[in-house]
Structure 1
């Protein structure tokens, strides 16, 4: 009896603390069957996690400070729902996040909010990433995502700060600006001075992983048929050989949507520039996508076409950097069926044809590494539940 009373008292104390802190537990579990094939002759079947939405668990909270001010926090950890393996994070915006250790890799921020907007510190989504997802009919997920934009970053093989950024300081405009919104971010890789490094190692230079970017747009507060946005980001990356700084990655995008009721149209254009390095002169690539979504029964049908091309580029000796002009096209279709507000079934199909050495992923969490020249096909069948 005494133990029971102690347990009840402990639960009551926790409930009071929980209410005072306004803490919310939330998450997503997304699991499905995925198939992918790439010419010549390779294929893969597997149970996968996070094809539509990354599986995650998190905590967020808010405290009113008075005078119109509030403090808040957001901790969000990704994991593989098919295996239970947690996701680690990247501390310096250079090394890629890995697995086998739970960490708040998706977001770990503390905020101060008021009528002037929000100041946010920590690890957060890159504004450029939001600027892509908001104008892809697949939201940047599944094998059907308009993922040709990723070709620009995969060719350079430095995608760490393209999605999420550590050590960031961000500012978000307040709501109530007539449908206009925006956010800006700066971050540091917190890497050492190059004079202390071995030029033959892959250790990051001072300044590597430093990032600056923004995303601004208009959505009429979600009440109108038209939305538009522009986003920009620049991440510094250096080459250690000969201690020569270069290879900085600069990206910008512009997108728009228009909802006719029976069908919604989506469009996006992206441009990528890789700065000079000891290996090459400046490299440039660009791509675009067009898509549509339409309500169908208890769900939504989505389809898109996307394309991407790199210029051939030149080495520092003036020779072609690529043998041709790496390029590719992607065709996608999918259906998302609502079983309830929190539970969905989905199916998606993506087909890519890449040429002249373009290295691009199909998309989704399973095929997020590149296939070389040839044809690639991916299929997702899954279920997503949020809480």
Structure 2
């Protein structure tokens, strides 16, 4: 019996030794000073956090289970370095929080609060994700390329890399008894990255998006109709379905990279999920196109430039009058200098011009993403910042 017990004990210890695990603490602190030419009708100088990269800290880890299988997790908090407050509506791990399994041959399956496939495969090709930060995101981040809205209750699959090709998808449970599709979110995406060429396609579909627990309500505990304030689409939050189809590409010529993205955005069946000033069943459609450019002058100095155009379709109001839609023209420039591998200083400038009639049936005003909207058709924002990664 002693021999048997000894053999079993040795076997157990051997298994524990093989189950190697790692845990990493990481983060970013991004802080800077801004000038906004028109913040609700007045010029504004202020300090803010997390423009180029959201300020954050997180823990990620994995455990080797043998045979190419690993358990993994990631919990990531967003915070405002200016005030010390939590970001993402005060959520403790508002950026992401998930656990799952990965296989070296096939990919990973994870459960929790996660990014959708459109963000993973197409959003990364936009100027905002590469060098501009959230103020360079498409007008109001209307296509969610910059991850303004995150998915709760999500099952996610991300494939391994097959010769440069990868793909994935998400499904988010609505969690409402008797209402299978309420708050439901799903997405699909695929990408190709090999040599100088990068390609990405993606699709996102969210039901009852403005509900608490819906896609646009996942950063708060209140109904999003009162939270989505950007006039570009605040008047469309009564939609039953929010849908985005997008594609992007980038090609590198030595130190120069040229890229482009396109997205088609629909707020479908207006009035089905709340009060609306538009005729029941109407669909508000936007098309967005971006051209971006970056030049790595030296290993330490990066320059970026981008132009973005957002076009809104006409929508019929409840009184029968046609809202002809709005247009947004946006240009951005940036310079980023790395003092070390972990610390850089940067300047980003963005200019936006609006025309037409917005979702509130008012003259369209400039509304740079995540900033207080202008009271005119134009706005400029300039930021000087420092970012440290740890």
TM-score by length of 1: 0.78
2:361 paired residue number: none
C-alpha contact 2:51 2:134 (8 A) present in aligned 1: yes
Select which of 265, 274, 277 maps to 2:270: 277
1:214 paired residue number: 188
| Displacement of 1:181 | 1.1
C-alpha distance 45-192 of structure 1, shift in aligned 2 (>3 A): farther
C-alpha distance 233-152 of structure 1, shift in aligned 2 (>3 A): closer
Q: 1:1-387, aligned counterparts within 5 Å?
A: 21-38=21-38, 41-87=41-87, 97-99=88-90, 103-114=92-103, 115-139=105-129, 141-142=132-133, 145-148=136-139, 150-151=141-142, 163-175=149-161, 177-191=162-176, 207-220=181-194, 224-237=195-208, 246-278=239-271, 279-280=278-279, 281-297=282-298, 298-315=300-317, 318-320=320-322, 322=323, 324-356=324-356, 357=358, 358=364, 361-363=367-369, 367-368=370-371, 370-371=373-374, 373-387=376-390
C-alpha distance 161-337 of structure 1, shift in aligned 2 (>3 A): closer
C-alpha distance 359-167 of structure 1, shift in aligned 2 (>3 A): farther
- 5+ unaligned residues in a row in structure 2: which ranges? 1-16, 212-237, 272-277, 359-363
Secondary structure of the equivalent of 2:311? Answer: strand
Secondary structure of the equivalent of 1:57? Answer: strand
Secondary structure of the equivalent of 2:141? Answer: helix
Deviations along 1:89-119, one digit per CA (max 9) or x if unpaired, are: xxxxxxxx413xx511111100111122111
| Displacement of 1:166 | 0.5
1:4 paired residue number: none
C-alpha contact 2:189 2:201 (8 A) present in aligned 1: yes
Secondary structure of the equivalent of 2:181? Answer: coil
Q: C-alpha distance in 2, partners of 1:53/1:77?
A: 13
C-alpha contact 1:62 1:71 (8 A) present in aligned 2: yes
Q: C-alpha distance in 2, partners of 1:306/1:339?
A: 30
C-alpha contact 1:150 1:361 (8 A) present in aligned 2: no
C-alpha distance 53-172 of structure 1, shift in aligned 2 (>3 A): same
| Displacement of 1:306 | 0.3
| Displacement of 1:74 | 0.3
C-alpha distance 25-181 of structure 1, shift in aligned 2 (>3 A): same
Deviations along 1:225-245, one digit per CA (max 9) or x if unpaired, are: 1111101100001789xxxx9
C-alpha contact 1:29 1:55 (8 A) present in aligned 2: yes
C-alpha distance 137-282 of structure 1, shift in aligned 2 (>3 A): closer
C-alpha contact 1:152 1:310 (8 A) present in aligned 2: no
C-alpha contact 1:54 1:78 (8 A) present in aligned 2: yes
C-alpha contact 2:142 2:265 (8 A) present in aligned 1: no
Deviations along 1:12-68, one digit per CA (max 9) or x if unpaired, are: xxxxx9x95311101111111112122884222111100100000110110011122
RMSD: 2.8
C-alpha contact 1:126 1:163 (8 A) present in aligned 2: no
Q: C-alpha distance in 1, partners of 2:268/2:54?
A: 32
| Displacement of 1:251 | 0.3
- 5+ unaligned residues in a row in structure 1: which ranges? 1-16, 88-96, 154-158, 195-205
Q: C-alpha distance in 2, partners of 1:219/1:66?
A: 29
Secondary structure of the equivalent of 1:138? Answer: helix
Q: C-alpha distance in 1, partners of 2:57/2:209?
A: 35
